[in-house]
Amino acid sequence: MAENILTQFYTCLNLPLQEKILGLSRLIDQSGLHKDLQALFLQLVDNIFSTNLNNGWNLRHVTFENNRYDFEALLSFLEPQGPMFRLCYKLLSDPQVKFNLPLSILPIDLQMTLERGRCPQFYADMLAMDSQSLNVVALALNPFDYYIFNFALYLINNNQNKASWENWNSVYFALACDYLMHFLPADPNVPVLPHIPYYTGKVPVVPPLQNASRPLYSPSLLILPDLSGINNQHASPQSQSRNEIWRSESVLQIFIDIWMSIEQFNNRNIDMYQRSMPVMNSSPERVRIVRVLVKHIHSYSAKYHSDPAVRSLSLRKYARQIMCSRAYHYTKQLVLTWPLDASFRLVMELWLSLIQPWRYTDNSITQDRYPTAQAYQEDANTGTLDSSFAQFIAENFPTYTCILQLILPRFLRLDLSAYKNAVMLFRLGKVFSQPHLTPILQNLEKAITDNVAGFQSPDNSASNLSMEQSYTYNGITLHKWVAIAKQAISELNMSTTFEYQPLWSENNKQFTLEFVKRIMSARQAAQKHFEEYNMKLSEGRNGMWNSIKNWLMIGNSLEEESTLEELKKVPLYLNNCVNFYTFIFGLNDNSLLPIETDLVDSSLEHSSFANSNNFTLNITQKLRNKQGDVHYMGDPDLMPIMTYENTILVRIMHQISTRLNELYGEEFSRMYSRNDFLGYVSREILQKPCTVHTYIRDANNQKSIVRQALPARLSLRRLASHALVAWLVVGYLLFRSFSYGGVFFIFTIFMLWTVIILSKASLRILRIIKE
């Protein structure tokens, strides 16, 4: 029977995906408890998430749009109550079944934490020690935890070189949302199914369960009941309580520790970073998934008051505490290393979700899981800031102010009259100008810098705009939160040399003034751009050439109207930004005059925000100043689209060649390296191997070059030039004039190309043409 199970298992693994899933599902459901299920489980997990087996089951690249049937088959197999989890629960019937996860495959920061023994108590009964050296070498995990660890690691260990922007709605993203909704239900009345009372492998945890690197802030939190129900006097309810929530605890801790891991680099490990840069850089997909995690944990934690069962009360309170500490360091690392372009909005939206828990008290990540349900939900949640969040703001004070001081100088390096940059600036200003948030932060900072126990409202307009009372926050004094905010600054910024720079100080008054003036200058420029473009379109609509284009249906009227609509919105966004940041920084209208049309960056150099090493000069300025010294060293297929190329054709040809290289890349390399006639022909068709270089910046702001070797590959970009398209059109019209069809024209072109390739290959063999 055992041989039969393994034989069927290996047979299923070699089938096409949908047949493989059907076969495995049948095998799992029909198999009873058997020793060989353990070997089957290990190999199945490795097969799903393997980095060496054609990227495992390709969870991050199968989407509903490009392959609906594979998408649904994978979801049905890996969903929270699907065959994969049924296999996990079968193995859980024996609490002694453990699977070792090597420490070396974990993120470096988690490895160091476990090796030093400063780890959350969640890992206390998982550590596997080497009998001789007594060092931690692995984690001994039950089947459920082993699967969840591998699922989480798949996101950070499988960052592909190509961008994953088009794969956001992938199987992996859908599963991540489903796991969060199922194992961390926002509704306290919803239990985690199925109920498995027979598993008693989790030991009780002593209170309070917390991250050792960040102690709990308030003494009042130390009397929380622990996750195992330790305050209960009876042993069986303790075990029952822990066994009811241990899956939620695992998903929470593992997702936070893996997805929010960061890497600190120095001269000793920069070589390792160069070899595995795609592994350690956060992809856009990862940032988006982390944001979903942040929003869901906010929603999960908000329900602890209404939990009818004590079993998950402490876990719900604990969730937000550990998440905020890890998310601060993760977000700060992203801000310091993210490219200076409009994609930074991904990072900024993650940060804005982190600092606004009141928006997600009734949030459901169904909106993220099913994007068609609500295409854009930035303003969908209507939660407002009230007094109950004063403690959260104090506990995470540096997450608001320190990261804001890193983000603001980025905008001085951007063209604020560009639509996407204006939207980012608007989003940031809208959040910090909402009622009560800026006055709370300002009063906390003043109390910290003045080193006073009480709170006094500062004499500036920021605390008086839209507020009628001295800021004690609706009559509640904030002095008890000052010590917590101070402690947060020292705990979250662990560097001994860190010194907090006040955001609302007189030293930064000049910077904030010039910052708002820059916005006003960009508003004028945006208004001018809109008027010029509108005038250009108006003139074009009345021209003869435009009439001809409309008759031939070759115009871009929709694109032009869309561009005009964006240009029209930019001055409105920037006008709101002026109001937002005037309120945030406490400026008055008189200080903003006169408006300078062209502002220089000297304000950045003379403020406490100055950290110009974190931001490269504008690329256009570099190209303008050092044209002779600039050389493109990246992937030739990813060069910016040139004026002589057709944009649509370049993208189509890139997609085709990328797919062919994925399917036949190894065959291309073998053909290119051959020394026979086929090898010479292949070298005429394929691109030769090359080494590309990419600049990276580590956490210490040191630049280095990452080298990556590209193998022989097919490139179709040469077919996307305007000149080639024009010649093909002329040739086709010429053939049509002689009554030849399109098929004959294509055949003729192919034959001519074949003759040229074979002739050149023959001449190279004869050494008439050099290699």
Q: Count other Cβ atoms within 10 Å, centred on residue 371.
A: 13
Distance of CA 97 to the CA centre of its chain: 35
Residue-by-residue DSSP string for 155-177: HHH---SS--GGGTTBHHHHHHH
pLDDT value of position 438: 92
* Cβ pair 544, 432 in contact under 8 A: no
Mean pLDDT of the chain: 79
- How far apart, in whole angstroms, are the C-alpha atoms of residue 152 and residue 251? 9
pLDDT value of position 194: 93
Q: Count other Cβ atoms within 10 Å, centred on residue 651.
A: 12
- How far apart, in whole angstroms, are the C-alpha atoms of residue 113 and residue 131? 20
């075990």: which residue's tokens?
239
pLDDT value of position 555: 52
Work out the end-to-end distance of the chain between its first and last CA atoms, rounded to an integer number of angstroms.
61
- How far apart, in whole angstroms, are the C-alpha atoms of residue 562 and residue 26? 52
- How far apart, in whole angstroms, are the C-alpha atoms of residue 315 and residue 312? 5
pLDDT value of position 306: 66
Question: 419: which 2 tokens?
Answer: 């639509």
In the predicted model, is pLDDT for residue 276 greater than 70? Answer: no
User: From the CA atom positions of the chain, what is the Rg in Å?
Assistant: 30
Phi, then psi, of 170 in degrees rounded to 5: -85, 175
pLDDT value of position 50: 83
pLDDT value of position 269: 46
Residues of 188-198 as b/e, b for ≥16 C-beta within 10 angstroms?
Answer: beeebeeebee
- How far apart, in whole angstroms, are the C-alpha atoms of residue 337 and residue 412? 17
pLDDT value of position 477: 65
Phi, then psi, of 181 in degrees rounded to 5: -70, -35
pLDDT: which is higher, 419 or 188: 419
Would you place residue 475 in the very low, low, confident or very high pLDDT band (cuts 50, 70, 90)? low
* Cβ pair 142, 131 in contact under 8 A: no
For residue 205, give the nearest of 137, 138, 123, 136 by alpha carbon.
123
Residue-by-residue DSSP string for 203-220: PP-PSPP--TTS--S-GG
Angle at which helix 344-354 crosses helix 419-432, to 10 degrees, equals 10
Q: What is the pLDDT of residues 201-211, one digit of tens each?
A: 776 654 444 44
Question: 480: which 2 tokens?
Answer: 């008890």
Q: What is the pLDDT of residues 647-676, one digit of tens each?
A: 888 889 888 998 998 899 888 988 888 888
pLDDT: which is higher, 399 or 277: 399
Q: What is the pLDDT of residues 511-524, one digit of tens each?
A: 999 999 999 999 99
**DSSP code for 269:** T
Question: What residues have CB less than 8 Å from 35, skipping those under 6 apart?
Answer: 2
- How far apart, in whole angstroms, are the C-alpha atoms of residue 734 and residue 426? 55
- How far apart, in whole angstroms, are the C-alpha atoms of residue 321 and residue 324? 6
């150099």: which residue's tokens?
605
Q: What is the pLDDT of residues 87-105, one digit of tens each?
A: 999 999 888 899 999 999 9
- How far apart, in whole angstroms, are the C-alpha atoms of residue 575 and residue 426? 9
pTM as predicted: 0.73
The mean pLDDT value for 4-24 works out to: 92
- How far apart, in whole angstroms, are the C-alpha atoms of residue 147 and residue 79? 12
Cis preceding linkage at 711, omega within 30? no
pLDDT value of position 526: 96
pLDDT: which is higher, 600 or 646: 646
- Report the run of H or E that residue 136 belongs to, with start and end: strand 136-141
Q: What is the pLDDT of residues 540-591, one digit of tens each?
A: 665 555 655 555 445 556 777 888 999 999 999 999 999 999 999 998 866 6
Would you place residue 322 in the very low, low, confident or very high pLDDT band (cuts 50, 70, 90)? confident
* Cβ pair 697, 610 in contact under 8 A: no
In the predicted model, is pLDDT for residue 625 greater than 50? Answer: no
pLDDT value of position 235: 37
- How far apart, in whole angstroms, are the C-alpha atoms of residue 415 and residue 604? 16
Distance of CA 467 to the CA centre of its chain: 37
